[in-house]
């Protein structure tokens, strides 16, 4: 079993905090202004949830997801939509990662291209971003009067968010769980 020292916990916390600040800042300064054809709006701050390793306690992921969503709500002037969507996505992340992780995965495997291979990681990211985006748009619209516009916005935003999350993972290098702890 992997044991954390105090220094490891502080470093892990600071790395997560840096990711949270970077993703919220990118959402605030760039992605809030992207509306492709008036429908597709990327929300890559959900990538924070994709970083949590296998075996992370659920309450930890829920707390980080809620705080990230709440910060994005504050800077985006949305009324709890991001916090709600991130909390639901954070709730499904641990069992989903357990289901999609390789059978021989170590207890603290960091989800990445290197640890999971490309397509299993994309499948994992697709489901998390799908749930996040679906909840986000259902909470935002809170009705089904314009179902076609809702479906177009949801699907285009989901695909754009997934594409950006996969691109971030590709740039990050997909380090294996042996090289980085998060």
Domain membership of residue 1 (yes or no) is no
For residue 171, the tally of other CB atoms under 10 A from its CB is 8
Ranges in the chain, pLDDT < 70: 1-4, 144, 174-182
Q: How many domains does the chain have?
A: 1
Domain membership of residue 65 (yes or no) is yes
Token pair recorded at residue 139: 């909470």
What number of residues does the chain have? Answer: 182
Domain membership of residue 179 (yes or no) is no
36 has which bridge partners?
Answer: 40
Structural domain span for residue 108: 6-172
Residue whose C-alpha is closest to residue 164's, from 38, 39, 20, 48: 48
Q: Distance between CA 62 and CA 30 in Å, rounded?
A: 25
Strands (E), 29-174: none
Domain membership of residue 156 (yes or no) is yes
Domain membership of residue 151 (yes or no) is yes
Q: What is the pLDDT of residues 65-89, one digit of tens each?
A: 999 999 999 998 888 999 999 999 9
Token pair recorded at residue 148: 């076609």
Token pair recorded at residue 64: 């980080």
pTM above threshold 0.85: yes
Domain membership of residue 57 (yes or no) is yes
Token pair recorded at residue 65: 């997801």
Domain membership of residue 138 (yes or no) is yes
Domain membership of residue 164 (yes or no) is yes
Which residues have CB under 8 Å from 179's CB, separation 6+? none
Q: What is the pLDDT of residue 177?
A: 41
Token pair recorded at residue 36: 């492709």
């Amino acid at each position: 079993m992997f044991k954390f020292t105090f220094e490891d916990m502080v470093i892990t916390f600071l790395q997560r905090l840096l990711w949270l600040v970077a993703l919220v800042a990118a959402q605030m300064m760039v992605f809030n202004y992207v509306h492709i054809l008036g429908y597709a709006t990327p929300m890559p701050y959900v990538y924070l949830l994709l970083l949590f390793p296998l075996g992370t306690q659920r309450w930890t992921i829920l707390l980080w997801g809620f705080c990230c969503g709440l910060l994005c709500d504050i800077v985006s002037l949305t009324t709890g939509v991001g916090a709600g969507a991130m909390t639901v996505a954070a709730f499904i992340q641990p069992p989903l990662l357990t289901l999609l992780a390789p059978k021989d995965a170590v207890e603290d495997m960091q989800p990445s291209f290197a640890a999971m291979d490309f397509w299993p990681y994309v499948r994992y990211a697709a489901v998390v971003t799908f749930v996040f985006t679906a909840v986000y748009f259902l909470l935002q619209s809170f009705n089904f009067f314009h179902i076609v516009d809702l479906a177009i916005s949801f699907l285009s935003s989901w695909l754009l968010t997934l594409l950006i999350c996969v691109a971030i993972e590709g740039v990050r290098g997909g380090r294996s769980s042996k090289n980085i702890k998060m």
